[in-house]
Structure formats: C-alpha cells, structure tokens
Amino acid sequence: MKKITYLSIFATGALAAAMGISLVSGQSPVAPPSNQEAFVNAAESTINGVVSVKSYATPRQQQYMGNGGGFFDDPFFEYFFGGPRQQPRQQQQPRESEQRQIGLGSGVIISADGYIVTNNHVIADAERLEVTLNDNRNYNATVIGADPTTDLALIKIDAPNLHVIPMGNSEDLHVGEWVLAVGNPFGFTSTVTSGIVSAKARNISSATQSMSAGNIESYIQTDAALNSGNSGGALVNLNGELVGINAAIYSKTGTYAGCSFAIPTSIVKKVTDDLRQYGTVQRALLGISFRELTPEFIKEKDIKGVNAGIYVASVADRSAAREAGLEEGDVIVELNGTPATTTAQVQEAIAKCSPGETIAITFFRDGKKMHKNAVLRNDQGNTDIRRPGSITDLGCAFSKAPKETLSQLQLSHGVQVKGLQDGRMKDAGIRDGFIILSVNGARISSPEEIEKIYDSIIKSADQDKVLFIKGIYPTGKQAFYAVPLVD
C-alpha cells in the first residue's frame, strides 16, 4: 500500500539501525551542465539558512505523538516518528523527569533575529526544542505559534545576524523548473538535492468535502530526493529564494521514491506573518462544502457550460458565500482571477487571504458564466481579529483528585477543579471541587490531559470549539457541562 510519509525522524541512539532504514537514496536528476554555476550558487547561498531542529520530551508525552487530528490520523498516512505505532513498549521505562530526544527535522531561517519556520509535526508535543545552525552553534528555541491545519510552525532562537533565505513567490514557479531541497535527511546536515517542479497545487490526502474542516493541502510536487529528517527544510529556486517548506513524500516504503511535496510560500508567508503578529492564524473561510467535477458527476447533475470546476454542494449560514449570493449547484472556476478547478487550488486561494478581504468569484450557474465578490469571514462568521486562546481563560486550576475522595466515590480516576475564578468554567456553571472524569469523551486522569485536549481544540479548524465535560461532585451528584472556548 502506498502511503504518505512525513519527513521527521523520531528515533534515538543508532539512528539507521533503530529505524531499520536503508541509507540508499533515490537518484536525483542530473542538472544540465550549462546550469551548474546556478546550482552551485543557489546551494551555497542557502545551506547556512537551514537548521536542524531536535525535539525532546519525557517518555510520558510520547504516547500523544501523531494524535493531532486531521489527515495525520488517517490510516493511509504515517509519520516518520517511530512512535508508539512503530516501536514496541519497552519493559523498563525511563524516569518521567528525564527528557529524551524524540524527533529530528529541519527548519528555515526567515529573519536575521532568529525566527525559523518548520513543520508543525516536527515540533508537536515537544517539551524542549534545540536548534543547531550550519556552523554547529546550538540554541534552545521557543514556539511562537503553530498551525496544524497547514502543518506549519514558527519558532525563535535568541541569536543575532543570522543568515536568511529570502522569501520567493511560489506562484511564479513553473512545472519543469529546477529547484533544490536543503535539509537534514537521516541526520546528515546541510544536504542538498535537486529536482524539477513536477506539479503544483497538489492535494495528497483523501478528498476534502469542506473548506471549514480538515487540513489545507496545496503542495508543490517535485522529484528532489527527500527522506526522513527533511521535514521543515527549504525548497529553493535557482535564484536561492525560498519557494516552499518540504513536508512529505509519497512512497510504498517510507523512503524516497520520486514524489516529494512542499508547502508553497504563498501559504507559508501568510501563516508565519500571522503567527508572528497575532500568535494564531487569521483564517478566512468562504463557507461552502464542495466537490470537484468529474465526467460522471457532470452527467449525473446535467451540468452545462463547464467541464472542470468546484461544484457547490451546500452554502453555510452566516457565511461569505451566502452573503455573496452563491447557491447550491453553482460551479466555481476562478478565485481572484486564477483557476480554481481543484480542491488544492481553492484551498490555496482562500488560505492566502484574511477575514475581511474581498475575493472575486467566477462561476457557472445553469450554464451561464457569472461573477460575484465575497467578503471572507472567520470561523465565527465575522471579520474580527482572533487571538490565541489560553487555558487560563478557563478561570481555574486542576489537580489530581485526592485518593480518599476517589475511594469514597468508587472511582479509579479524575481531576478536580480548584481555585475557581471568573472564567469560562464558572460561566458554564461548574463549581469548585468538581471532579472531571472525561472531556469530549476522553477519560481524564491528569491535568496534563485536559491541557492537551484544550490545546488541540484551540488549534483545530473546527468552528465549534467546545469542551464537553462529564464529572461528579464530592457529594456524589453527577453533572455534565458544555464549556465554549470562543465567544
């Protein structure tokens, strides 16, 4: 079975032996001799702008790796983490307080004062991040923000005068154009491979049915050789400009087989600018569910005037699409004057925008070509600036329920609400001392599990961000609460 492999390494010790991987990479294309100087110049100008990113966590955290939702949990997708899906449980677990290296990926310096872009799956659930520059200097990094929806993250190190790879425009790329990939495959630093752009606006997961759910995928496909450890590394053109962040390969074996994928800078720039300015992405939504046209579907629906496009299956209430007058059965063919006939093209066009921006829509209705403008909105149906949520917004602390209380109530687990103050928990009706048994159907045994669920919901693309809490008071009274996380 073919699978998508995300290119972080999750292993320790003897890397190749532990992961059971062959150190034989696929053959990269040979550059035309006339372009050799351009290749050399591009490589020399970029290798100092790519870093190694190591992630560390205590063993108790490793059970969460790869459970971020979206296409990363799809059985057809697989991380290169060597996490619990791939490694047997050891008989002796290390001490919980002892951090271990659990991941290795790459990152790209985008500002001289230390901002670095990488993949979200490289840094997800890490307790500590360590960045190594090409000259072997090491720094601890802090996470500025992360966006699982696009699989991008922005981190920062405290270092001056860093080498920056200039941001290029991925929309200017052409199929057949030469590109270089720079990263740390198998832990080998400053590795450069070459290839051509094989395709643009490629969607590699199962078909997306709605713009408001799932992940945004509009990849640049290349045949530059990538392997585990390349995640978060640079895809550059022959001018030495960043045009993408390498993220995945398509392979039967989990190693390079000729199809590599990078997130285009059209999306990278928007996401990193938002994370840097607001701490969270200001994501715009059109407010439709849709499917791509196929010959069979065109015949089934008797669609006239167009052979390729996005069929509007439904229009959400209080959405930009409804305000603009889109209707079920419309077929979108362009957004802001660029083709939008595939899921990936629609996702990329919307992902570049912010709530409040106007997007021009060209579509067919009953065989007639029409044009409308829509003012895009956020997931709450307005154009307000969104700020990242914090678990402190709940207005309480959490601690493991006392053993004597659990024994009295004949419970095996639970987390107690302490120090209740004004906040979302109090607004929902929860009182001090309440023992939380489950959140959104997940059994709760520690405060860290509540924080994990909270962070996952806040970072998700779901419009309805709610904690559904089931629990019991020390008196034995059971209760259920819904705690909204957004206003």
pLDDT in tens, 326-346: 999 999 999 999 999 999 999
Angle between helices 343-351 and 265-278 (to 10 degrees): 40
Cα(245)–Cα(3) distance, integer angstroms: 20
Q: Is 428 a residue whose pLDDT tops 90?
A: yes
Cα(71)–Cα(166) distance, integer angstroms: 30
More confident residue, 160 or 379: 160
Residue 174 among the catalytic residues: no
Q: Is 5 a residue whose pLDDT tops 90?
A: no
Q: Is 367 a residue whose pLDDT tops 50?
A: yes
Tens of pLDDT, residue by residue over 29-86, are 444 546 789 999 999 999 999 999 999 988 754 433 333 333 344 333 333 322 333 3
The DSSP letter of residue 24 is -
Catalytic residue among 198, 231, 260, 289: 231
Mean pLDDT score, 373-378: 96
DSSP letters, 100-143, are EEEEEEEEEE-STTSEEEE-HHHHTT-SEEEEE-TT--EEEEEE
Q: Who contacts 316 (Cβ-Cβ below 8 Å, separation ≥6)?
A: 212, 287, 288, 289, 322
> Are the beta carbons of 342 and 291 closer than 8 angstroms?
no
What's the confidence (pLDDT) of residue 472? 96
Tens of pLDDT, residue by residue over 188-225, are 998 999 999 999 999 887 433 334 345 888 999 999 99
Cα(53)–Cα(231) distance, integer angstroms: 10
Maximal C-alpha separation, the chain: 81
What's the confidence (pLDDT) of residue 53? 97
Tens of pLDDT, residue by residue over 341-361, are 999 999 999 999 999 999 999
What's the confidence (pLDDT) of residue 34? 62
Q: Is 297 a residue whose pLDDT tops 90?
A: yes
Percent of the chain with pLDDT over 70: 83
Percent of the chain with pLDDT over 90: 69
Q: Who contacts 294 (Cβ-Cβ below 8 Å, separation ≥6)?
A: none
More confident residue, 487 or 313: 313
Identity (one letter) of the amino acid at 322? R
Q: Is 292 a residue whose pLDDT tops 80?
A: yes
- And the tokens for 18? 């532990």
Q: Is 116 a residue whose pLDDT tops 90?
A: yes
Q: Who contacts 120 (Cβ-Cβ below 8 Å, separation ≥6)?
A: 68, 146, 147, 148, 150, 151, 152, 153
More confident residue, 99 or 48: 48
Mean pLDDT score, 159-165: 96
Q: Are strands 77-79 and 3-6 parallel, antiparallel or unpaired?
A: parallel
pTM: 0.78
Identity (one letter) of the amino acid at 51? V
What's the confidence (pLDDT) of residue 12? 37
Q: Is 368 a residue whose pLDDT tops 80?
A: yes
SS3 268: helix
More confident residue, 251 or 100: 100
What's the confidence (pLDDT) of residue 323? 96
| Residue 457 backbone dihedrals phi, psi, to 5 degrees | -70, -45
State the pLDDT confidence band at 463, using cuts at 50, 70 and 90.
low
Cα(435)–Cα(404) distance, integer angstroms: 13
What's the confidence (pLDDT) of residue 192? 97
Q: Is 316 a residue whose pLDDT tops 70?
A: yes
Region of poorest pLDDT, from 66-75, 176-185, 290-299:
66-75
Mean pLDDT score, 89-97: 46
> Are the beta carbons of 121 and 79 closer than 8 angstroms?
yes
Q: Is 18 a residue whose pLDDT tops 50?
A: no
Catalytic residue among 125, 147, 151, 455: 151
- And the tokens for 414? 């639970």
Region of poorest pLDDT, from 151-165, 210-224, 316-330, 406-420:
210-224
Measure the CA angle with vertex 151, ends 145 and 152; round to 5°: 40
What's the confidence (pLDDT) of residue 304? 92
Residue appearing with tokens 């709760």: 444
Helix (H) or strand (E) holding 346: helix 343-351
Q: Is 250 a residue whose pLDDT tops 80?
A: yes
Q: Give the Å distances, CA to CA, from 232 to 11, 34, 84, 119, 160.
A: 17, 30, 22, 5, 21
Mean pLDDT score, 363-367: 96
Identity (one letter) of the amino acid at 271? V
Question: If you average pLDDT over every residue of the chain, what do you get?
Answer: 85
What's the confidence (pLDDT) of residue 486? 80
Residue appearing with tokens 């419309």: 330
DSSP letters, 149-180, are TTTEEEEEE--SS---PPB--GGG--TT-EEE
State the pLDDT confidence band at 99, using cuts at 50, 70 and 90.
confident
Residue 121 among the catalytic residues: yes
- And the tokens for 219? 């990849």
Catalytic residue among 8, 106, 121, 379: 121
Q: Are strands 310-315 and 259-264 parallel, antiparallel or unpaired?
A: unpaired
